Amino acid sequence: MRRRVYLVLWGSALLACLAKLPILPGPVKLIFWVSCILVNSPGVLLIGQLVGYLWVRTIPGYLGAALISMLFWEPLIRWLERPISRSRRVFLVGGAGFALGGYSMAVERVNYQIRSFKLYIPDLPKGLEGRRVVLMADLHCGPVNRPSSLAPALKLANECRPDLILLPGDFVHYSSSYFGESAEWLSGLRPSIPGNVIMSWGNHDHWNGIEKARAAIGSVPGHILCQQRLLLQPDGSLSDEGPDGLWLCGLDDLWEGQPDLAGILRDLPARQPRLVLCHNPDVAEEQNGGRVDLMVSGHTHGGQVSLPGVGAPIVPSRYGQKYVCGWVMGPGGYPVYVTRGLGVGAVPIRLGVRPEITVFELHRNEKTGQTVLV
């Protein structure tokens, strides 16, 4: 038993190291890497928590994860190797693992939750009072997030009767061939004013070819904002400029692009409110440069797994748990809302972190002079 478990642990870690070889085809790399993550999950979770998510994906990270996983597996193996009722224990442990895995893959992963907030913004034009903005991120269309599993999210989003829809990035996962599926899903969005769909890029869009992304997603009725801005006018329509309205500013991705918050806000009238789309919420920690009423982000997926008393063991952020999900105040003094996203990344599970559709109802705030989310 012990020998077999250790063979699988180290075998998968070595496969993941092999995946670093550039000669291997993409699907093989993906299988190697996912096998390492799944089999060495205790080590991956611990290293992810202590050293950072990206470091786990290095060769020392894979081997370290296998080593730490051995420490976790050892007591379990000893317990399983006790002669009395061995088969019953194997059955119990295997059954529990199978049930939890099945639930996190097949049930919670697609159990979409709508979270609604009233957003009070200073200087909001009266015409935008009560307008509904839907935020969704991280579709990750790909081998796991198929159109059939994303279809309920589309239906729910349209039932929220949005006047404006915001999608800050990560439309595909693993291959540019999924940009078409993603565009088809996006074309099914039905804001009250056709074309009121604002998108910006995430790291996976860059990784799979931003020109291919632009070609496919450019066909969607809406606007891709990459270091660009548009004004939501009091009548709900979008314009390049105007005397009154809510500015929608789209930043490029932090890991693979060059986001410039100060640049996108430059020259905007101080009395006009601004809402910033930014895939990676770490930008809020690192950039400032003018009035921001709200930044909306995704990227972290809420960690996908959240354990009681521990939180999310893996968060792809330089700032640990701070931007894992929800409402955060950055050092720049402006609020950030991080949605848990719709899809999953390489690890196809969600546990304690349901996929999310966020709804903001816009209101004027004349009392505090600050954006307030309730």
φ and ψ at residue 126, rounded to 5 degrees: -60, -35
Task: Give me the least distance between CB of 112 and Fe ion, in Å please.
Answer: 16
Tell me if 253 contacts Fe ion by CB under 5 A. Answer: no
Residue (131 or 301) nearer to Fe ion, CB: 301
- How remote is the C-alpha of 300 from its chain's centroid? 4
Selection from 292, 289, 290, 314 nearest residue 302 by Cα: 314
Pairing label, strands 246-250, 294-297: unpaired
Structure tokens at 57: 């994906």
- Minimum distance from CB of 314 to Fe ion (Å)? 13
Residues 6+ positions from 75 with CB-CB distance below 8 Å: none
Minimum CB separation of residue 161 from Fe ion in Å reads 26
Q: Kindly state the smallest distance separating residue 217's Cβ from Fe ion, in Å.
A: 15
Q: Per-residue x/- marks for Fe ion, 44-63, CB under 5 A?
A: --------------------
State which residue, 170 or 282, has the beta carbon closest to Fe ion: 170
How many DSSP H helices and E strands does the chain contain? 12, 14
Segment lying near Fe ion (by CB under 5 A), choices 4-12, 15-23, 38-46, 162-170: 162-170
Say how far apart CA 109 and CA 305 lie, in whole Å.
Answer: 10
| Smallest distance from Fe ion to CB 198, Å | 18
CB of 312 to Fe ion, least distance (A): 14
Burial environment of residue 117 by CB neighbours within 10 A (0 to 12, 13 to 18, 19 or more): middle
Contact by Cβ (8 Å): 184, 190: no
Site for Fe ion in 136-155 (CB under 5 A): 138
Distance separating alpha carbons of residues 39 and 41, to the nearest angstrom: 6
Q: Note whether 170 binds Fe ion by CB under 5 A.
A: yes
Residue pair 115/360 in contact (Cβ under 8 Å)? The answer is no
Kindly tell me which of 169 and 273 has the beta carbon lying closer to Fe ion.
169
Which C-beta is closer to Fe ion: that of 138 or that of 253? 138
Q: Which stretch binds Fe ion (CB under 5 A): 94-102, 114-122, 163-171, 320-328?
A: 163-171
Question: What is the closest distance, in whole angstroms, from the C-beta atom of residue 316 to Fe ion in the complex?
Answer: 8
Looking at the Cβ atoms of 69 and 297, the one nearer to Fe ion is: 297
* CA 57/CA 44 separation, integer angstroms: 9
Q: Which is nearer to Fe ion, 185 or 247 (CB)?
A: 185
362 pairs with which residues across the strands? 119
Residue 282 engages Fe ion in binding (rule: CB under 5 A): no
Buried b / exposed e along 231-261 (16+ C-beta atoms within 10 A): bbbbebebeeeeebbbbbbbbbbbbbbebeb
Cβ 154 to Fe ion, closest distance in Å? 18
Q: 42 or 142, CB closer to Fe ion?
A: 142
Q: Which stretch binds Fe ion (CB under 5 A): 41-49, 167-175, 241-249, 324-332?
A: 167-175
- 60 to 79, contacts with Fe ion by CB under 5 A? none
Site for Fe ion, residues 120 to 139, rule: CB under 5 A: 138
User: Considering beta carbons, is residue 64 or 202 the nearer one to Fe ion?
Assistant: 202
Number of residues lying near Fe ion (CB under 5 A): 2
Q: Find the shortest distance in angstroms from Cβ 57 to Fe ion.
A: 15
**Helices assigned H by DSSP within 179-328:** 179-187, 203-207, 210-217, 261-265, 283-286
Element (H, E) at 74: helix 59-81
Q: Which stretch binds Fe ion (CB under 5 A): 91-99, 170-178, 215-223, 255-263?
A: 170-178
Sign of the dihedral through C-alpha 169, 171, 174, 175: negative
Write the single-letter amino acid at 193: I
Distance of CA 272 to the CA centre of its chain: 29
Considering only 58-66, 115-123, 164-172, 234-242, which stretch makes contact with Fe ion by CB under 5 A? Answer: 164-172
CB of 203 to Fe ion, least distance (A): 7
Distance from the first to the final alpha carbon of the chain: 54
Cβ nearer to Fe ion, comparing 123 with 138: 138
Q: Which is nearer to Fe ion, 170 or 181 (CB)?
A: 170
Phi, psi of 247 (to 5 degrees): -80, 135
* Binding interface with Fe ion (CB under 5 A): 138, 170
